[in-house]
Amino acid sequence: MTNSEISTKALRDVVTDPVCRMEVNPGQTRLLAIYRGHTYWFCSKDCRTAFEINPRKYLDAKPPKRKGWFRRYYEWIAKVDREQFGSVRPN
């Protein structure tokens, strides 16, 4: 990325730190790394250092696992409970 591309990106977007997945405003940080022609912004020096040591670890990360059946069931029960009883449960 050229300097003009970097400054344009900084003015219009919020990006995700590839290490901790925190949202970062490129216009408010100077912590960045360029890897294979792409610019990545970071929330802290620790995240940038971890990325510089092994960028493939964070770029090839698998998507989060789907919730298990018990968690999905629990969330469904909680939703039904809220619909039936509202936010306050009966005694």
* Residue 64: predicted pLDDT: 64
Q: What percent of the chain is modeled with pLDDT above 90?
A: 33
**Which one is predicted more confidently, 10 or 67?**
67
Amino acid type, 54: N
| pTM: predicted TM-score of the whole model, two decimal places | 0.55
CB atoms within 10 A of CB 18: 22
